[in-house]
């Protein structure tokens, strides 16, 4: 089980971070992700495999005026 923005997620173990984000409807170009207290560079989203106990924070950027 992982935690995303404080919520328990039980069906994301062993997925890449990129796959999880796309599956959940995030637009990768418009998010920043922190995993276990460290920012994950976008170039590593495919390589980062989510594992039991990970704590993820996803921040979406919103434009406007």
User: Other C-beta atoms within 10 Å of 17: how many?
Assistant: 23
CATH classification at residue 20: 3.10.20.30
Percent above pLDDT 90 for the chain = 85
What confidence tens digit (pLDDT) does each residue in 1-13 have?
Answer: 999 999 999 888 8
pTM equals: 0.89
**38 domain residue, yes or no:** yes
**50 domain residue, yes or no:** yes
Counting the structural domains of the chain, the total is 1
**23 domain residue, yes or no:** yes
**6 domain residue, yes or no:** yes
- pLDDT given at position 62: 76
Is the model's pLDDT at 63 over the cut of 80? no
pLDDT confidence tier of residue 65, bands split at 50, 70 and 90? low
Instruction: Give me the domain span that covers residue 32.
Output: 2-60
**65 domain residue, yes or no:** no
């Amino acid at each position: 089980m992982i935690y995303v923005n404080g919520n328990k997620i039980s069906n994301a173990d062993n997925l890449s971070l990129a796959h999880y984000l796309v599956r959940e409807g995030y637009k990768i170009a418009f998010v920043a992700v922190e995993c276990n207290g460290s920012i994950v560079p976008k170039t590593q989203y495919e390589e980062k495999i989510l594992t039991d106990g990970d704590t993820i924070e996803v921040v979406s950027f919103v434009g406007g005026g």
